[in-house]
Chain A
Amino acid sequence: MAVITVSRQFGAGGELLAKKLANELNFPLIDRKAIVEALTEMGLSPQLLKFDEQATKGEDAEKRQRFYLTALHEHLLTLADKESYVLVGRGGQFLFRNRPDAFHVLVCAPFNQRVQWVHEIYNLEKSPACLLVREHDRRKKRYLRQVFDRAWLDPEVYDLVVNTKTLTPQGAATLAKQAAGSFLERNMRDSAAVSLRTAKREQNIADKQPSSFMHPSEEEFARMLNFYHIPWQYEPKTFPLQWDSEGRVTEAFSPDFYLPEQNLYVELTTQRQKLVWKKNKKARRLKELYPEINVKIIYNKDYQHILESLGID
């Protein structure tokens, strides 16, 4: 997955660039409208939505803002695990700063140019246009300082900084598309990213087929992983363990789950402790033949411990 974040100075044409970029890359555009829709669907009250990109003052407002931001950030991070998208604003450059699959664009223009554009587009006199640009600059600076404690115009934060005065918003969009395209290509070549993407895709398929679980405890385990946002795949791979003289596989092991983020295979066994020797033997053989594979057997007793620790019998 990839996230292209577009940060913009007010009046520099960032929204236009983001829209064009999303269109050209065929990625969904996550802007204020999309965020409001998603968070409303999650049940967030309209009173909280007013904290979008707004700095706050006062203990009560800060508390409610934190609540809003937690929901927003969780939503954006979860979405990024599922699909690629272009994000406008919301401090995306800081939220995704450590993700190798994120590309950060800053769209800026000199103050006078932005005033000029605001004057033309909003049909405002020069003086109120000037006031509006100044206000927005101040507000954005305060918001990003309050939420992420970062200076937002630091060029080191960004992979691409474009000045729309000379490039024009259209020209900047073309340039951003080229830069993001080459980044995405490199990202695609990264084999780890490819395998992670495959894993996520398979997980989505598995998500949709809960009825194919072999045992109710597996379905429950999958629900528990979903609850804690742990991506998983159900029986994604079979490891041959023994072959006959003609090279046919005579024994194999397909662990129940693979957790790509943990790089861990998990085998759940609901058999009684006395009867698990066969599975232990398979796990030992797996370790011998595939030492790089991490596999964990969760015995019935362990599984009951996990459920009991959650207050479930």
Chain B
Amino acid sequence: MSYRLEPVLCRTTIEERIAELGKELSRDYQGKQPVLVCVLRGSVYFAVDLTRAITIPHLLDFISISSYSQETDPIGIVRITKDLDTPIVGREVLIVEDIVDTGLSLHYLIRNLKTRSPAGLRVCTLLNIPARRIANVPIDYQGFELPNIYAVGYGLDYHENYRNLRDIFSLVKEET
């Protein structure tokens, strides 16, 4: 099996959209000092650029959750592998995701963070692929809605490859 990369979003388009999101968030969170929760690892690239586009005081924190693997034992359940360093009780919280497709991990994360009684909890994702959605999750801010493709680049990986690309591509399998 070989792969080819088809361009989907170039860096300029991504930069422009992030600037718009930054403005929107700065306006909506004026005076609220939100906590931006970056979901490791793919969202780091987006979160960093997004914070640069936000002009109001805010705090950046990181969280990581285990993902499903076939080696998971039959009673395995998702868990937090790196928790926030900041208490979020009574704070405005914005989850920053690189991509929301099935919504399964985000669904868990929202449920988990809600138990910590934040004042508000919203979701900002760079990419949204509603065609693959399984769990209902609210998306408050989105960069781009994409069709059902396998996106790589700008933090998104395929077996840890392509994260470092500045543009976003569709990974297309070529049957040999």
Residues in A lying within 8 Å of B, measured CB to CB: 62-63, 66-67, 69-70, 73-74, 77, 94-95, 146-150, 210, 220, 223-230, 259, 261-262, 264, 266, 296, 302, 305-306, 308-312
- Pair B108/A63 contact, Cβ less than 8 Å: no
- Pair A146/B89 contact, Cβ less than 8 Å: yes
Assembled-state Cα–Cα distance A305/B150 (Å): 7
- Pair A224/B104 contact, Cβ less than 8 Å: yes
Which residues in chain B, 98-154, are within 8 Å of chain A measured between CB atoms?
A: 101-102, 104-105, 107-108, 111-112, 115-117, 132-136, 148, 150
- Pair B69/A264 contact, Cβ less than 8 Å: no
- Pair A70/B104 contact, Cβ less than 8 Å: no
| Min distance, Cβ A289 to any Cβ of chain B, angstroms | 24
* Known A95-B115, A149-B89; contact A296-B134, beta-carbon cutoff 8 A: yes
Q: Chain B 58-86 against A: per-residue CB contact (8 Å), 1 yes, 0 no?
A: 00000000011110101111101001110
Assembled-state Cα–Cα distance A150/B119 (Å): 11
- Which listed residue, A146, A227, A264, touches B77 by the CB 8 Å rule? A227
- Which listed residue, B70, B75, B105, B150, touches A220 by the CB 8 Å rule? B70
- Pair B111/A309 contact, Cβ less than 8 Å: no
Q: Is the interface of B mostly helix, strand, loop or mixed?
A: loop
What is the chain A residue whose CB lies nearest that of B74? A223
- Which listed residue, A62, A148, A306, touches B101 by the CB 8 Å rule? A306
What is the chain A residue whose CB lies nearest that of B1? A313
> Does B87 belong to the interface (CB within 8 Å)?
yes
- Which listed residue, A73, A95, A223, A229, touches B72 by the CB 8 Å rule? A223
Residues of B within 8 A of A229 (CB): 77-78, 107-108, 111
Residues of B within 8 A of A226 (CB): 75-77
Chain B CB count within 10 A is highest, among A225, A264, A302, A311, for A311
* Known A63-B83, A227-B78, A262-B136; contact A306-B72, beta-carbon cutoff 8 A: no
* Known A74-B115, A147-B117; contact A302-B83, beta-carbon cutoff 8 A: no
